[in-house]
A and B are shown apart, each in its own frame.
Chain A
Amino acid sequence: MAREFKILLGLGAIVVAGGVLLAIYANPNSPTTIDESKLVTASSSVRGNTGSSVTVVEFADFQCPACGVAHPINQRVYDEYKDKVKFVYRHFPLSTHRNAPVAAEAAEAAKAQGKFWEMHDKLFETQKEWSDLADPRDKFAEYAGSLGLNVETFKADVQANKYARLISQDYADGESVRVNATPTYYINGKKFAGVLPYDQFVDEIGKVIEK
């Protein structure tokens, strides 16, 4: 065997062995290191079976295209499992999305009037309408009106950034449980980053329900 090939083989074996050892002994993604009390708090938005021992937590950004893609999948899973699973939404507005924080404010302002999930759905379904606006607040007020909210109260809440601290806390909680992409899901503490395909989503929920 040529000299070069032997050297490449030897070097390659060392590097790959190092990688395997790293994977086995230095995996930082152990679920036991996550503080699960950060996943659901008293101010989190919850729906479904609120007494269920099966919890799906989603950290998402209303302006994130990937979250927009995930939305119909989430909706389908919710419709199928709302009697068996507790679904939780946590805000994680990314710094690259200028309108994401105000969208989160809009959702919380709607929540104050009892329509968080309706506004949540509306924001994801109309993402392309408001994502590139210089100021989407008028558009959000329009949505509030269509949902039957008190628009003046809604506008005042959004204008005052009334829920900024709650949204920041959601973001901090997300960072503490190592959320670094949106959407990120936790199904009974097990992390899934990125859009979760429907089949995989129900499969994972099914495994937890079986336990």
Chain B
Amino acid sequence: MKKTSWYLYAAWAMALIATVTSLYLSDVAKIPPCNLCWYQRIFMYPLVIILGVGIASRDALIHKYAMPFALLGGLVALYHNLLQWKLVPSVVECSIGVPCDQVQAVWFGLFTIPLLSLIAFILLLIFLIIDKKMYGARV
């Protein structure tokens, strides 16, 4: 059986870093997540388990399980960024008093929370695609 590639480990680490960072921002830095942030969390958090279990059990179907989550989460993140860049109208109602189009934090003058999320989902997809193309099936 082929060894697990480092791209899969990188994908898992990316999901874990994104999860830990999002929890830090909401629970420690007290930046409350908006509705769109919650939807992105719904797609990102399970990837820690899906990829972890898939890697540990050398599951040949790991890409099939993980890529839909990464793709759908990435689409939500893309919409969130377009919303903050005022390129699309809002279709998500604020139900918890946190506006999705409000920029809550910026690092180095560029990196907002939705942008970091989008980068994370894109990197995840890249790692998964490279692993699938280069290493193919695992059994």
Binding site for B on A (CB under 8 A): 2-5, 7-8, 11-12, 15-16, 18-19, 22-23, 27-29, 61, 64-67, 94-97, 180-183, 191, 193-195
Q: State which of A4, A15, A18, A29 has its C-beta within 8 Å of the C-beta of B56.
A: A4
Rounded to whole angstroms, the CA-CA distance of A17 and B100 in the bound complex is: 30
Instruction: Provide the residues of chain B in CB contact with A182, threshold 8 Å.
Output: 97-98
Rounded to whole angstroms, the CA-CA distance of A27 and B31 in the bound complex is: 11
State whether A29 and B30 are in contact (beta carbons under 8 Å apart), knowing that A8-B9, A15-B20 are contacts in the complex. Answer: yes
Give a binary string over B66-106; 1 marks a CB under 8 Å from any A CB, 0 the rest.
Answer: 00000000000000000000000010011111111110100
What are 5 residue pairs bridging A and B, where the CB atoms are less than 8 Å apart in the complex?
A15-B16, A19-B23, A66-B95, A96-B94, A96-B101
Q: State which of B21, B98, B102 has its C-beta within 8 Å of the C-beta of A19.
A: B21
Rounded to whole angstroms, the CA-CA distance of A195 and B23 in the bound complex is: 19
A7 touches B9 (CB 8 A): yes
Q: State which of B13, B29, B52, B97 has its C-beta within 8 Å of the C-beta of A29.
A: B29
Check: B28 CB closer than 8 A to any chain A CB.
yes
Rounded to whole angstroms, the CA-CA distance of A96 and B12 in the bound complex is: 36
Q: State which of A4, A23, A94, A180 has its C-beta within 8 Å of the C-beta of B55.
A: A4
Residue of B nearest to A7 (CB): B9
State whether A181 and B32 are in contact (beta carbons under 8 Å apart), knowing that A19-B21, A65-B95, A96-B100 are contacts in the complex. Answer: yes
Total A-B contacts with CB atoms under 8 angstroms apart: 87
Interface residues of B in 9-63 (CB under 8 A from A): 9, 12-13, 16-17, 20-21, 23-24, 28-32, 52, 55-56, 58
B20 touches A18 (CB 8 A): yes
B20 touches A16 (CB 8 A): yes
- Rounded to whole Å, the gap between the CB of B30 and the closest CB of chain A is 4
A95 touches B102 (CB 8 A): yes
Check: B3 CB closer than 8 A to any chain A CB.
yes
- Rounded to whole Å, the gap between the CB of A128 and the closest CB of chain B is 13
Instruction: Provide the residues of chain A in CB contact with B99, threshold 8 Å.
Output: 94-96
State whether A65 and B55 are in contact (beta carbons under 8 Å apart), knowing that A15-B17, A19-B24 are contacts in the complex. Answer: no
Interface residues of B in 106-124 (CB under 8 A from A): none
Instruction: Provide the residues of chain B in CB contact with A15, threshold 8 Å.
Output: 13, 16-17, 20
B9 touches A11 (CB 8 A): yes
Rounded to whole angstroms, the CA-CA distance of A11 and B17 in the bound complex is: 10
Residue of B nearest to A182 (CB): B97
Residue of A nearest to B21 (CB): A19
Instruction: Provide the residues of chain A in CB contact with B55, threshold 8 Å.
Output: 4, 8
Instruction: Provide the residues of chain B in CB contact with A94, threshold 8 Å.
Output: 94, 97, 99, 102
Instruction: Provide the residues of chain A in CB contact with B28, threshold 8 Å.
Output: 22-23, 27, 29
Instruction: Provide the residues of chain B in CB contact with A61, threshold 8 Å.
Output: 97
Rounded to whole angstroms, the CA-CA distance of A2 and B100 in the bound complex is: 43
Rounded to whole angstroms, the CA-CA distance of A94 and B55 in the bound complex is: 44
- Rounded to whole Å, the gap between the CB of B33 and the closest CB of chain A is 9
A181 touches B98 (CB 8 A): yes
- Rounded to whole Å, the gap between the CB of B41 and the closest CB of chain A is 15
